[in-house]
Copies of this chain bind each other. A is one copy, B any other.
């Protein structure tokens, strides 16, 4: 069985960390698939997918870390090409990566207790995002 769905939402850009967990859990439940692999993928080159504990402290720490190693600013060659000023967003996104694969067993994704599935929106402006959720498995 293969089920492909998507989650749509608005972000503030600018390092926004969006918790997708409950919506992915709902899609998995509605699919009727109980065993297999769940792929979470962001189409687009200025956001990434990973997991983190979604708590207020880390929601500040994570953007501060990216600002430290890949600061925003006019110093990227990308910005000279396009003038859209989001060269830093592309590099951050390439580093984190766009995909995540989560095992599904007995109808439940095997996540840690404090491990949430998140989109990191690195773009320099608010964005409409659509994250693809695909389940390959059996009922």
Which residues on A are within 8 Å of B, measured CB to CB? 2, 4, 35-37, 39, 41-45, 50-53, 55-58, 60-62, 65, 69-70, 76-82, 87, 90-91, 93-103, 105, 110-112, 114-115, 118, 132, 134, 136-138
Contacts and interface: CB of A to CB of B under 8 A. Distances in A.
B77 A136 contact: no
Given A4-B35, A41-B102, 15 more contacts: A4-B103, A4-B105, A37-B39, A41-B101, A43-B115, A44-B112, A51-B94, A52-B93, A53-B90, A58-B77, A61-B90, A98-B115, A99-B100, A99-B101, A99-B102
A62 to B, nearest CB: 6
Nearest to A100: B99
